Amino acid sequence: MPVVPPELCDYVIDYLHNDRKSLTACSLTCREWVPTSRHHLYCEVLLHKPQLFIAFKRLLQAHPVLGCYVRVLKISRLEKASSADLAQIEEVLPILLRYLPNLGSLGGSLLSTSASILRSVPEETPVTELFLQYCDFPALEDFARLFYSCPRLRSLALCGVSWASTTCDVLPRALDAPGLRRLVLGRDVDYASVIGLLLRGGHHRSIHSLSVTLTSEADAYALSVLLENIGESLTELDIEWHPMRPGSNVVFLPSSLRIPSTVTVERLTIRSAISHAYSTPWVTSLLSAVDPARLRTFALEIRLLGELDALDWKTIESILVPEQFRSLREVAVKVNIWSGVHMDQLSVRNLIRHYLPRLHSKGMLRFAS
């Protein structure tokens, strides 16, 4: 029987990355297939029940080598756990993390008040990416302790993260301060507290990618402060302005948002909803405020809830076509069509080509699916 080269076996097993049953069978087939099978079986671990923490700890204690395969750890849905369960998890979590030397991504979601368990993450955790969704910490200080326990952190994403108290006296040792490269701030986040923490610790100086969803003037002001301090390191800026209390029928750019002249990004992404009820002049206002010196890509992401005419396409083209945008190479448009809109992607794209004729004729207009 001919021998199949091991690299081809690995290639075939890679195709099974989402099929845990087949991967388990592969891991039991022969010794040579074990590493690749385990790579997919243990690459991402989700712990969403108190008893899973105990079971995973026992597995790692019996087979420590398995911990080397874990790259992503997600902790989720513990809002119904009892106080005794949470206390046990807070005791077990540091033990688990010590068995995961190659852990790159740590996430918490739908933890509610159980987010306090994340305070027990030990110092010097090798995580480079931290993402939290709908987690409620007792205090900003608890979030800060988690943040500073990951000195290699390069990417931070927060959405629906809150704390009852904004008190925070925690500061890291100078050599342990995370130097962020990517920051994502979604809805329901205390922008002022997070940005204040980042500025106070100097974690903003290397940020090159920034994505924000603004819902209030206070959010916009905090973003302006951050942009003033980031300066030239920023190359990608992604902004959505979705006010909680918009005007009667127009969504203007928040008056507290300022794009300083030191911010000259290479890629600008604007995300906006288009509905029957509102026109959106804030999009063109923001585009006009950005320095065009280095801009190579302008991306527009639309949630289409009404008519495309609510966006001023003529002004968008008049801004982008002149000579000062000579570095611009691509205008990428992505449209997510609401089910109540009686248009398909083809008709929407044809209409946008009609609205942006000069950009289309230059071959700059692209559509993303």
| DSSP string for residues in 233-265 | G--EEEEEE--SS--SSB-PPPTT----TT---
Output the pLDDT for position 1.
Answer: 39
What are the domain boundaries of the chain? 1-41, 44-171, 208-369
Instruction: State the chain's mean pLDDT as an integer.
Output: 89
Q: How many CB atoms within 10 Å of residue 3? A: 5
Q: How far is CA 79 from the centre of its chain?
A: 23
pLDDT band at 330 (very low <50, low <70, confident <90, very high): very high
Alpha-carbon span 113 to 125, nearest angstrom = 23
- Residue partners of 147: CB distance under 8 A and separation at least 6: 130, 153, 156, 178, 197
Output the pLDDT for position 176.
Answer: 62
Alpha-carbon span 143 to 163, nearest angstrom = 8
3-state secondary structure (DSSP) of residue 360? helix
Main-chain dihedrals φ then ψ at residue 243, nearest 5 degrees: -65, 145
Which of 178, 166, 118, 120 has its CA nearest to residue 141? Answer: 166
For residue 101, pLDDT beyond 60 = yes
Which of 115, 45, 129, 126 has its CA nearest to residue 86? Answer: 115
Residue owning tokens 């991504």: 105
Alpha-carbon span 213 to 272, nearest angstrom = 10
On whether the CB atoms of residues 295 and 266 are closer than 8 A, the answer is yes
Compute and round to an integer the Cα radius of gyration of the chain. Answer: 24
Average pLDDT estimate for 238-256: 85
Q: Which two tokens stand for residue 115?
A: 């987010």
pLDDT band at 172 (very low <50, low <70, confident <90, very high): low
Which of 191, 142, 144, 206 has its CA nearest to residue 171? Answer: 144
**Dihedral, 117, 122, 126, 128 alpha carbons, nearest 10:** 40
pLDDT band at 341 (very low <50, low <70, confident <90, very high): confident
Reported in sequence order, the residue ranges of 94-177 that DSSP labels E, i.e. its strands, are 105-112, 129-139, 155-165
Helices (H), the chain: 6-14, 20-27, 34-41, 50-62, 83-98, 140-148, 191-201, 217-230, 282-289, 313-320, 345-355, 357-361
Q: How many CB atoms within 10 Å of residue 213? A: 19
CATH class of the domain at 44-171: alpha beta
Main-chain dihedrals φ then ψ at residue 364, nearest 5 degrees: -95, -20
3-state secondary structure (DSSP) of residue 275? coil
Alpha-carbon span 109 to 228, nearest angstrom = 31
Average pLDDT estimate for 263-283: 90
Average pLDDT estimate for 331-360: 94
DSSP letter, residue 122:
P
For residue 42, pLDDT beyond 90 = no
Q: What are the C-alpha distances in Å from 207 to residues 12, 146, 178, 210, 273?
A: 38, 19, 11, 7, 27
For residue 254, pLDDT beyond 50 = yes
Looking from the CA of 249 toward its CB, the CA atoms found within 13 Å total: 3
pLDDT band at 357 (very low <50, low <70, confident <90, very high): very high
Average pLDDT estimate for 2-12: 71
Higher-pLDDT residue of 116, 246: 116
